[in-house]
Amino acid sequence: MSRQVIQSANIYFSPTGTTRKIIRSIATGLALRPREMDITLPAAREQHFNLEKEELLVAAFPVYGGRLPKLALEVFQNLPPGRRPAVAVVVYGNRAYEDALLELFDLCQKKGYYVVGAGAFIGEHSYSHVMGRGRPDPADEESARCFGLALRHSLLGNDRVLSDKTLLTTARRPYRKYMAKSVISPETSRKCVSCLVCVKNCPAGAFINSDPKNIDREKCILCAACIKFCPEKAKSFNDDDFTDDMAALAAANLDRKEPVTYLP
């Protein structure tokens, strides 16, 4: 490859697993030696992140309220600066990705990384089994694989870098405000058998004393991992306003959105 890229560092945050599926499909198409850096759980975010010379950074995050999850900033702070190629990827729940992809592009640039490709993919919405139901599906995974392959060819063939102009057609700076912090948190029904799957999969370490029925509302990021992974279906958001809002959001976003990718 013209840039001598032989390995990719695939860093991702994926509470309910859709972002993980997308980055893995991209990695298949890229066909570089992959190094997975799964930063979903708190312990993984405490480690020091090194990036090797001649390594392509592929960073993937879910979209939260049209932005990146706040912890993306923390993670980028811990990445070493320097000139290296990077790929920005976001995964959203079939509503909209808004400023999230531009934000990730900007985070890369601030580190000195030059963005060689970007993409927005669709995953089943964390709060719904209707919005983006079952996605990424095989067609999405194939799109992600093809994107990886196109990136590989692009890296091989030229030295071009993606401009933010393409992303600014759908996003803006300053970015939209973060979603207001909701006062709700998942509730636990009597079906809970204390198997601790929720505790083990909580990206925020929000269970007090590892008790599956005791969630620290301040820490909870409302990612819905505990709801989606509970084998007993014992967790849910029971707040009526929240449930109504989600039903309305789902009704307004039934149309299937397709992945969008950007190459220089």
Ligand X SMILES: Cc1cc2nc3c(=O)[nH]c(=O)nc-3n(C[C@H](O)[C@H](O)[C@H](O)COP(=O)(O)O)c2cc1C
Which spans of this chain sit near ligand X (rule: CB under 6 A)? 14-19, 62-66, 91-96, 123-126, 222-224
Q: Cβ(7)–Cβ(33) under 8 Å?
A: yes
CB of 173 to ligand X, least distance (A): 17
> Which residue's Cβ lies closest to ligand X?
123
Closer residue to ligand X in complex, CB, 131/155: 131
CA separation for the pair 215, 213 (Å, rounded): 6
107-137 in b/e form (b: 16+ CB < 10 A) is bbeebebbbbbbbbbbbbbbbbebbbeebbe
CB of 124 to ligand X, least distance (A): 6
Closer residue to ligand X in complex, CB, 114/242: 242
Closer residue to ligand X in complex, CB, 129/153: 129
CB of 11 to ligand X, least distance (A): 13
CB of 178 to ligand X, least distance (A): 10
Query: What angle (nearest 5°) sits at the alpha carbon of residue 142, between those of residues 86 and 250?
Result: 90
Closer residue to ligand X in complex, CB, 121/262: 121
